[in-house]
Structure 1
Amino acid sequence: MDINVTRGEGKLQHVVEAGPHKLIADAPSQYGGDDAGFTPHDLLAASLGACTALTLNMYAKRKEIDLQKVDVKVEHADKDGAYVFHRKLTFHGNLTDEQKTSLLGIADKCPIHKILSGEIKIVTEAV
């Protein structure tokens, strides 16, 4: 699926489209935007959080683990020359310590985690 990004109505606002889905990306007012939507960094952190939650729920269902829901909080910022994602997971359900440990390991196997932890190449062309 292609992602299309087109100019929105605000000073720096853009509309991000993926198939029938749309969201607004913008910059905070301190950077000249209207703070009307997600920042690009927020979108990246949201991708990690959403992928983690989906992966954990699929795994728990397949393994018949009583994970009723998982809350994922992702804090993100530049720190000491690196961009750091700090992911905090809250498991809900009747889980053993062994199951919680297993779920923590599975969190690192979500596709977005793998992408962000691996080598990334970006190809840019003008059309």
Structure 2
Amino acid sequence: MPVTVKSRYLGNLRVENTHLQSGTKIITDAPVDNRGKGESFSPTDLLATSLGCCITTIMGIVAEDHGIDIEGTEVEITKMMSESPRKVKEVVVEFFFPPKVYSEKEKQIIEGVAGTSPVPLSLSSELKQTIRFYW
């Protein structure tokens, strides 16, 4: 199996991550509340972002399959940490759909796939995933 990401520790609690297929780079930085500068995504920010992006992607696939236009949908992702042990305890993902007319059936189709993509299914059941839809 080919390597997906190559990471290099840069010092000062920063890591450069390279997606080998595309060459795209992401720098992570420790958050301010954990000895970092907070100048980039933290690893836990990426976890929360991955959850939101994975749900958005599967909704996009299903929307395309059913001829539903959700282009322009905005997503707000909120990560909440617990102190002991220090871990992500909840991620809230809120979807704000563009001002278009969606039928109840279309809404059900889109909302119905929210927890069925790889990231939500891969995370621990201890992590609370709160998903909200605003049509």
TM-score, structure 1 as length reference: 0.78
Shift of 1:30: 4.0
CA change 1:80–1:13 in 2 (3 A) is closer
Q: Which 5+ residue runs of structure 2 have no aligned equivalent? A: 126-135
The separation in 2 between residues aligned to 1:80 and 1:17, in whole angstroms, is: 30
1:18 aligns with 2:25: no
Give me the TM-score of the superposition, normalised by structure 2: 0.74
Aligned to 1:124: none
Cα deviation for residue 42 of structure 1 reads 0.3
Does the alignment pair 1:60 with 2:66?
Answer: no
In the alignment, structure 1 residue 84 sits paired with structure 2 residue 84: no
SS in 1 for 2:41: coil
Matched to 2:8, the amino acid is T
Q: Is the 8 A contact 2:62 2:109 kept in 1?
A: no
Query: 1:82-121 alignment to 2 at 5 Å?
Result: 83-92=89-98, 93-116=100-123
Partners of 2:30 and 2:82 in 1: CA distance: 20
1:42 aligns with 45
2:116 is paired with a residue of what secondary structure?
A: coil
Which moved further from structure 2: 21-30 or 53-62? 21-30
Higher strand proportion (structure 1 or 2): 2
Aligned residue type for 1:114: L
- Aligned identity (percent) is 25
Across the aligned residues of Structure 1 and Structure 2, the Cα RMSD in angstroms comes to 2.4
What residue identity is the alignment partner of 2:116? K
Deviation, structure 1 residue 62 = 0.5
Is residue 78–residue 91 contact of structure 2 (8 Å, CA) maintained in 1? yes
Q: Is the 8 A contact 1:52 1:72 kept in 2?
A: no
Higher relative contact order (CA 8 A, sep 6+): 2
More helix as a share of residues = 1
**Structure 1: 5+ residue stretches without partners:** 119-127
Instruction: Show the counterpart of 1:5.
Output: 7
